[in-house]
A and B are shown apart, each in its own frame.
Chain A
Amino acid sequence: MSTSSHHWGMAVDLDRCTGCGACVIACQAENNVPTVGEEEVKRGRVMHWIRIERYYEGEFPNPQIKFRPVLCQQCDNAPCEPVCPTYASYHTAEGLNGQVYNRCIGTRYCGNACPYSVRTFNFFNPRWDKPLHLQLNPDVSVRQVGVMEKCTFCVQRIKAAEIQAETEGRSLRDGEPAPACVASCPPRALVFGDLNDPNSEVSRLARSPRGGKLLEELGTRPKITYLQRGSWDGENR
């Protein structure tokens, strides 16, 4: 099965995002992301693979709040990949920034190199408060202490959809593999699909005049398009 014909990407419509956080919870449940506890969160060790950034604008009585879901941008020119001495972070045939947990020795170099700070690190062995340990996803490996991890675009769902389509002898439909965050987004602010297919919804949105990339000026060539009314320079960064 040739899979390299796909080039997975995402579009995030900031005008639709309500900041509800459903994507964060869905991701945590789907990907066996550990809950580190209050003390560790205070120390800056929260492990969410996707986060809702909140930015405040304006003064009372007209304060504004802006939400921006930030996950791994799956850069085509990813700073995290070349710095890893053991090829734990590498580029997959489908253009994803893969992370091979077994190869990771925990230099955390990739985490420093990532301008989006979306890589999270297992500072301790993972624990789940009961009864959360009963809901671990069998499709996703549990990571051990000292290992870097990050958003995979729910690669297990992509693979499952590809296998399903192959057994049914058809090609993938647009929107068929949906990462947990996308599937759970109530206002449908997140759209996932194949950027190689010019007719997919995500390709269409990527061409939108509302679209822009996060920290595009760094030359990372991210695969996530953020859609927003107004200009993309200055205050949105």
Chain B
Amino acid sequence: MAKTAEEIQRDLLRPVLKTSWRFVLVVAGLGICVLAGFSAWMYQATNGIGVAGINRPVFWGFYITNFVFWIGISHAGTLISAILRLSNATWRRPITRCAEVITVFALMIGAMFPIVHLGRPWLAFWLVPYPSERGLWPNYRSPLLWDFFAINTYLIGSVSFLFLPIIPDCALLRDRSSGWRRRLYSGLCLGWRGTQKQWQQLETAMHIMAIVIIPVAVSVHSIVSWDFAMTPVPMWHSTIFAPYFVAGAIFSGIAALIVAMVLLRSFLHLEEYLTAQCFDNLGKLLLVMSLLWFYFVFAERLTTWYGNAKPEMAVLWLTQRGPFRQLFWVMLCCNFVIPFPLLAIKKLRTIPGTFIASVTIIAGMWIERYLIIVPSLSHKFLPYTWGSYRPTWVEITITSVTFCAMALLFIVFSKIVPVVSVWELKAGLPPGSRPAGASDRDGQLEPVQILGAPS
């Protein structure tokens, strides 16, 4: 990269410090959408969960699909960022923060859905273990409670994981801003001065978090899968579910990361930072996950088919020949048939190529979660109870608004913190390209000290 440290700093701080009218327009538009979604939820909360399309026996529908989907998306940050940091892959530098932000926001959106779907959402706090006037602790045998703990652990962990590498950039911004921004960054950078000791402590903390967050992430989606696998429902009660869900989560997470990066690249003019090489490498990872996903789907279905148990076969045929067959084939095309050539052939693994593959994968993985939840519930053991499910406008509104909410959170975040880590890019420069004698006021390391930061 031919950029100097000064240029990097200027390019990456520009979107933070300069606000155009287009930004205001987009934020206002997305804000209205999010308000609409919030109103839809209030409508549901006041009138009863019955305004959604769920019924007996399909007690879970779009909301739980969204829950699994968004928690899955949140696995972008962990894999990319933690694993690439630990393996010291240099091409990770421009993308780690983007991945970590997706994790935090997707997790917040995903964690909202178990509350949205409750019959009495105002009592959601009963999952919190505290000595209550009811004289009752929550039921630790319930996978939903495991979820509660796993998601909260992951949220705390990923917020710390996101926050740590932000500190030096906040210090940089503190020295370049005034007014409320200055006060904000002064608080956020926790008195960062850029001393050698502070760099060492930061590196240690980031290293510990990178190691800790990987098992936490794996546990989160395993537990999400156990919400299903722990119940005697045909096609749910399966040992393959935990690894299958974790693989699917990482798969959709990488796809989400690529989409976010492509959009950032064009909107914030980061063409020189989010290079074709990043997309090529991520495309290879995505290809591996696509193959892994296909392998899991195949293994799951082959086992079910060979086992030939009546209740399971009823559900299996529902998705192969029955009313869900179109969705099944769409899912297979989205997750494998379309992305595979785009990602496997080097000529096609370009930025547009990986973008198209990622968009189809995100759609395909949403359908996958839907196909896991709804067909099984609609055809449980007694044929007399078989039913079907059709979402209502409330569920559709809330579902589509979550994508607006994600975009809004992401855009607002990118206005406060540079979405590409300034100090990590600078640290990645070859020694000769750094300017000599940066001022101490920057809250930024001198070039020699950047070298000292083992990143």
Q: Which residues of A contact B (CB under 8 A)?
A: 40, 43-46, 51, 53-55, 68, 70, 79, 82-87, 103-109, 111-113, 115-117, 119-125, 144-148, 214-215, 218, 220, 237
Contact = CB atoms under 8 A, between A and B. Distances in A.
Given A85-B127, A105-B119, A123 B139 contact: no
B126 A105 contact: yes
A208 B388 CA distance: 37
19 contacts: A40-B50, A44-B58, A45-B50, A53-B384, A103-B136, A105-B119, A105-B121, A106-B118, A106-B120, A107-B117, A107-B119, A113-B233, A115-B233, A120-B56, A123-B50, A124-B50, A145-B119, A146-B119, A215-B381
A102 to B, nearest CB: 9
Interface residues on B, range: 35 or more
Interface of B: prevailing SS: loop
Interface string B124-160: 1011000000101011011111001000000000000
B332 interface: no
Contacts of A45: 50, 55-56
B232 to A, nearest CB: 5
A105 B382 contact: no
B57 interface: yes
Nearest to B386: A117
Given A121-B59, A147-B119, A113 B142 contact: no
A148 B118 CA distance: 11
Given A106-B119, A107-B117, 19 more contacts: A44-B388, A82-B141, A82-B230, A84-B139, A86-B136, A103-B134, A105-B121, A105-B126, A107-B118, A108-B119, A115-B382, A122-B119, A123-B55, A124-B48, A124-B50, A125-B48, A144-B120, A146-B121, A237-B381
Contact of B139 (A53, A70, A85): A85
B385 interface: yes
A103 B135 CA distance: 11
A43 B58 CA distance: 11
A82 B56 CA distance: 20
Contact of A111 (B57, B121, B138): B57
B380 interface: yes
B387 interface: yes
A105 B124 contact: yes
A120 B126 CA distance: 22
Nearest to A105: B123
A111 B119 contact: no
B114 interface: yes
A115 B18 CA distance: 59
Contacts of B377: 112
Looking at A44, A55, A104, A119, which has the most chain B CB atoms within 10 Å of its CB? A44
A220 B232 CA distance: 10
Contacts of B50: 40, 45, 123-124, 145
Which of B49, B56, B60 has the largest number of chain A CB atoms within 10 A?
B56
Interface in B207-258: 227, 230-233
B20 interface: no
A116 B57 CA distance: 10
A176 B87 CA distance: 73
B142 A55 contact: no
